Amino acid sequence: MSVILGSGEHSYRVVEGWGTLPEGWAFGDVAAVGIDRHDNVYAFNRGPHPMVVFDREGNFLRSWGEGLFRRAHGVHMAADDTIFCTDDGDHTVRQMTLDGRLLMQIGLPGEAKPFMSGDPFHRCTHTAHSPEGDLYVADGYGNARIHKYAPNGKLLFSWGEPGTDPGQFNLPHNVACDDDGWVYVADRENHRVQVFDGKGRFETQWHNMHRPCGLYMPPGKCQLCYVGEMGPYLPFNRETPNLGPRLSIYTHKGELLARLGRTPAAGPDPGQFLAPHGLSVDSRGDIYVADVVATMWPLLFPEKSMPKPLRSIQKLAKILR
């Protein structure tokens, strides 16, 4: 029997066994996932083949990026059919063609700016585009900043500092932008999404979430906002119910519409997640979830051996009513 998550118009069927790799290949962590206009799926992962491309049925198409990326982290599909790949291991953002040709690089590979200096980059995490084509970069594990770049890669300005007040960040892990130019930042360790205008001015914040990690807004007006909540992992609360890991669906104004995930929350079974690190939605409303399973398993289950293989990407097919 299929596993069904959600209810009403936000009902999804878990597609078990989605994604067929060539014999002998393995993912480990899938950090991010993107979808092109043909609904091909780009799984940015921390294995020997960093970008693995599937069709929507999960058939392997190609791979690329071997020898280029140090530690896959974020993916953003641009309107011009290019893909922006954020590598927090070597502090770079790279614009690539969909077949893996390098077009532009921001940041110097292997050269991190001083911790919390505010200068780009120190373990940058994700990217998004404004309606005008400017690029926002979340930065990240060793900074507390959002940087805005012109389309040619010139730095325009930055905002943010460490802290918990509006406009401050405690790991800006993901960033998205809607068609009206509002900028949404998954401020992970502050357990919130902050919303800014295109000049970095604070507008509002959403708090009813736990460690927001993945963040995706489909193109168009009055979007939905899909949030992957990483959930707890510390010994005192890792088994606490109703904290995740899970997916949550909001309106673009922060109104909660649905939560997706089986209980007990963390686990390897279909419909469960360990750490939904990245996500994307295709043209039919199906959700693809990237899960950093190899990183999270020893934190969540320190007494258990990690099963192999362990699913690191999951497809939730929207049930049309």
pLDDT of residue 308: 85
pLDDT of residue 125: 98
Nearest one of 44, 56, 45, 47 to 25, comparing CA atoms: 47
pLDDT higher than threshold 80 for residue 32: yes
pLDDT of residue 23: 94
pLDDT of residue 79: 95
Report the alpha-carbon distance of residue 72 to residue 51 in Å, rounded.
9
pLDDT higher than threshold 80 for residue 265: no
pLDDT higher than threshold 90 for residue 197: yes
pLDDT of residue 36: 98
Identify the band that residue 255 occupies on the pLDDT scale cut at 50, 70 and 90. Answer: very high
**CA distances, 21 to each of 27, 54, 63, 287 (Å):** 9, 9, 10, 19
Report the alpha-carbon distance of residue 159 to residue 154 in Å, rounded.
16
pLDDT higher than threshold 80 for residue 221: no
β-pairing, 82-87 with 41-45? Answer: unpaired
Displacement of CA 27 from its chain's centroid (Å): 16
CB 276 within 8 Å of CB 5: no
pLDDT higher than threshold 80 for residue 45: yes
CB 86 within 8 Å of CB 136: no
Give the pLDDT confidence of 129-166 residue by residue, as tens digits.
Answer: 999 999 999 999 999 999 999 999 999 999 999 999 99
Give the pLDDT confidence of 64-88 residue by residue, as tens digits.
Answer: 999 999 999 999 999 999 999 999 9
Identify the band that residue 219 occupies on the pLDDT scale cut at 50, 70 and 90. Answer: confident
Give the start-to-end residue ranges of the domains of the chain: 4-318
- Residue 222 tokens, joined: 């009055």
Average of per-residue pLDDT across 275-302: 96
The sheet that has 192-196: what strands, in order across it?
Answer: 172-177, 183-187, 192-196, 202-206
Looking at every residue in the chain, the average pLDDT score rounds to 95
Identify the band that residue 40 occupies on the pLDDT scale cut at 50, 70 and 90. Answer: very high
Nearest one of 34, 44, 125, 127 to 81, comparing CA atoms: 34
CB 182 within 8 Å of CB 196: yes
pLDDT of residue 148: 98
Decide which of 1.10.760.10, 3.40.640.10, 3.40.1280.10, 2.120.10.30 is the CATH code for 4-318: 2.120.10.30
Average of per-residue pLDDT across 263-282: 92
